[in-house]
Amino acid sequence: MIIHESRFTYAEHGLVRVCDLGELWEKETGLPVPLAGICARSDLNSETRAAAEQAIRASVEYAFAHPEASADYVRANAREISAEVRRAHIELYVNESSIDLGATGMRAIESLLHAAPTSD
């Protein structure tokens, strides 16, 4: 299983792709891969949840408007990968869905939850 920036560099290490699960998911469902989520406990009051959501949204919007602002941080924490790979990784995973999942993103999550085995 290859994840994160290794998706762009595995061949440099002599590895061969057998199956890209992201491509397979998108082909079979027609939906994006639901990669991660930020959730709030249901017992938090609505004002706290709204404030957290606004802070996260503002941070992502700032990052979109000022991509150079995080360059030093990303470079320091991803020293082993080239600038091109860092850029490709960020462009793949940081997109409009980072601000708002929308109906398509919600369908992707629902589809993943439906496909996941249960322990009943």
Q: Of 82, 95, 77, which Cα lies nearest the Cα of 36? A: 95
Longest Cα pair distance anywhere in the chain, in angstroms?
51
4 is catalytic: yes
Give alpha helix (H) positions in 10-82. Answer: 21-29, 46-65, 71-77
* Region of 38 on the Ramachandran plot (φ > 0 left; ψ -120 to 50 alpha; else beta): beta
By annotation, the residues acting in catalysis are 4
